[in-house]
Structure 1
Amino acid sequence: MRQFLAVFHTEGTKILNSKMVWITSAAFTIGPLMAAFFMFILKNPDFAETSGLLGAKAQLAGDATWPSYFSLLAQIISIGGVIVFGFITSWVFGREYSDQTVKDLLALPFSRGMIVYAKFSAILITTLCLTIYIFSIGLLLGGVIGLPGWSASVLEHGLFIFFISALLTMALSTPVAFFACYGKGYLAPLGFIIVMVVLAQIIGAIGYGDYFPWAIPALFSGTTGEESPLTLLSLTIILLTSIIGFTGTSAWWKFADHH
């Protein structure tokens, strides 16, 4: 346990001292800002039109309420999280090859499996903190706008949908780690992320999103206009995808011929 904590501390220090996590946090902040801006326009259409924020012929669908706002935040975390969480994962694993520090890790008196576990743990903590940050910013902005429809039950439901969507999206980051190791850098995992995002949109549009892992969180969050129940089959598909990615990454570190 002491060895794991030592490796975990090292990985956490790498993340905190990197520009990546702060740039990622700043970029992801655009999500709740845009959601709040959208709610503000819906809540004040006349002001938005007279001030030039909205064209005279423009029409926006939806209503400016807390339930709609929470749903929009969940959609942002489920779609944007695939890219942001995947980018964090690709950095944590891919930088070792790009910076040629993988040989230094392998020389440490720790098992290769422990290094992988520590990296995934650091990624989980980082993405959880980022998720909490995004939701907190969203709450603050929603309060500033003065959205109607607030209640304890609305907050509870919004929290549930948001964080379950985030956790489902986090689970899909493990295959990204495998491609970062297999491709020995950033290019392969980032390409994989882009392909999965595109496929999720296409497969979701033709009605088979419940069977494609990267489309399931978005459907659950309500991208189709209403929240899609998380079925046992969909949850199993995501868990299997996550386990395959984790197992593949662990096997690569343990058995691949590292030079």
Structure 2
Amino acid sequence: MNPALGAIQTELFKLRKSKMFWITLGAFSFAPLMGGLFMIILKDPILAQNNGLIGAKAKIIGEASWPSYLNLLSQILAIGGIVIFGFVTSWIFGREYSDRTIKDLIALPFPRRTIILAKFFTAFVANMALALYIIAFGIILGLIIILPDWSITTLVEGLYTLIVTTLLTVLLSTPVALFACLGRGYLVPLGFVILMVVFSQILATIGYGAYFPWAIPALYSGIDGTSESIGLLSFTLVILISIIGLTTTFIWWRISDHR
């Protein structure tokens, strides 16, 4: 068997057998459920009024319609995805240190780059699977709620925004792998993710979010009411950060002394 294929199959097997992935899948399901709840409240003004604060929060989202709902799903993936995708990536790269299996991993007759390639591939597959599940689950909820303004054009435009937002967010998870290796566990990469989320909120508020990679997915999703501030430079920054994360992780594994 090809070493790369064997390493990928092993990583996918570890992911499938892990409780972490399925717990994360279940926890992430609450996001579209809350979005669906807001849409139900917005469909019934009397119910929104009776719910007080919940109704007020729902009104921030806008109206109960498919365009508004799909936009909300994009924002969920943009903001929640930074944390969830980062967590999954930190687990895939950090678990070897926490479980003390790193010595067994590097003893395999594979080049180190093959191991890292397999882990990055697994992280991408896992994160995309989570995102596609949220998108599918969200659309099913929208159909159950019977939201107005349904059309094929609306769905295609909404799906396009969802997919691009997802890809932007997933690309930003590669530096998390480096911090998982540097920190030899989960805490350092999770701290890095939280720090990036905080900085993205601050920079987006003062008008510089389009130049900070971790704020770009949320801005593209239309969280500020428009995605016009996101241009070629913003997309280039996200791709650049992703490449840096990939490259530095490969370099670190090549030169690091794994003891």
Report the TM range for the smaller structure's normalisation.
over 0.9
Structure 1 counterpart of 2:22? 22
d(CA) in 2 for partners of 1:130, 1:99:
24
Distance 1:57 1:132, change over 3 A: closer
Structure 2: which amino acid aligns with 1:72?
L
* 1:255 CA drift (Å): 1.0
TM-score, normalising length from structure 1?
A: 0.96
Distance 1:2 1:215, change over 3 A: same
Q: 1:75–1:221: 8 Å Cα contact kept in structure 2?
A: yes
Structure 1 counterpart of 2:158? 158
Q: 1:82–1:193: 8 Å Cα contact kept in structure 2?
A: yes
Does the alignment pair 1:215 with 2:227? no
Structure 1: which amino acid aligns with 2:238?
I
* 1:178 CA drift (Å): 0.1
d(CA) in 1 for partners of 2:143, 2:122:
32
Alignment of structure 1 residues 57-72 onto 2, 5 Å: 58=56, 60-61=59-60, 62-72=62-72
Runs of 5+ consecutive residues of structure 1 not aligned to the other structure: none
Structure 1 counterpart of 2:225? 225
d(CA) in 2 for partners of 1:204, 1:63:
24
Structure 1 counterpart of 2:99? 99
Q: 1:4–1:118: 8 Å Cα contact kept in structure 2?
A: yes
Structure 2: which amino acid aligns with 1:188?
V
* 1:57 CA drift (Å): 8.6
* 1:3 CA drift (Å): 1.2
Structure 1: which amino acid aligns with 2:20?
M
Distance 1:105 1:42, change over 3 A: same
Q: Secondary structure at the match of 1:100?
A: coil
| More displaced stretch, 231-240 vs 1-10 | 1-10
Structure 1: which amino acid aligns with 2:157?
H
d(CA) in 1 for partners of 2:35, 2:133:
15
Runs of 5+ consecutive residues of structure 2 not aligned to the other structure: none
d(CA) in 1 for partners of 2:148, 2:34:
18
Distance 1:238 1:21, change over 3 A: same
TM-score, normalising length from structure 2?
A: 0.96
Q: 2:201–2:215: 8 Å Cα contact kept in structure 1?
A: yes
Alignment of structure 1 residues 38-49 onto 2, 5 Å: 38-49=38-49
d(CA) in 2 for partners of 1:21, 1:158:
27
Structure 2 counterpart of 1:34? 34
Structure 1: which amino acid aligns with 2:11?
E
Distance 1:56 1:207, change over 3 A: closer
Alignment of structure 1 residues 81-120 onto 2, 5 Å: 81-120=81-120
